[in-house]
Amino acid sequence: MQHFTIATVAEQSADFRRVLWTGTNTQLVIMTIPPDGEIGEEVHEDIDQVLSFVSGTGEARVGGETKAVAQGDLVVVPAGTKHNFVNTGPNPLVLYTVYGPPEHADGAVHRTKEEADAAEESGEDEPPQH
């Protein structure tokens, strides 16, 4: 069994993205978006995503709509939907997200957005094949 006190684990990570657990059908990832930072506009064609916000404030830009997000909010991004999450506050925007199926390499840690982008471009961030 994997057990996480997820808000505590997420808040203790300064990494932009850290894969905590990867299963056959889903993946648990924590993210810390620095002030004035963003995840970056993207579309996951075959992957649903559920994001839960632990601390900080930001904007969810999903499918052409924009809504404010803060601690306790949850946002669902269906597969094929353009989305971005932007930190609008003075503190890090901390969240955890579940991908189904997995999106990133098992155990991947990307300390910055630039590191995450480079891993994606090089193909090093490919999810496991089941």
Q: What is the pLDDT of residue 105?
A: 87
**Does pLDDT of 77 surpass 90?**
yes
Q: State the average pLDDT over residues 20-44.
A: 96
The residue among 103 and 60 whose pLDDT is bigger is 60
The residue among 105 and 126 whose pLDDT is bigger is 105
Q: What is the pLDDT of residue 124?
A: 77
- pTM metric for this prediction: 0.89
Q: Which CATH code of 3.40.50.300, 2.60.40.10, 1.20.1560.10, 2.60.120.10 fits the domain covering 6-122?
A: 2.60.120.10
What percent of the chain is predicted at pLDDT more than 90?
82
Q: What is the largest CA-CA distance in the chain?
A: 41
Three-state SS for 34-68 is CCCCECCCECCCCCEEEEEEEECEEEEEECCEEEE
Residue found under tokens 């993205």:
17
Q: State the average pLDDT over residues 105-116.
A: 91
* Domain boundaries defined on the chain: 6-122
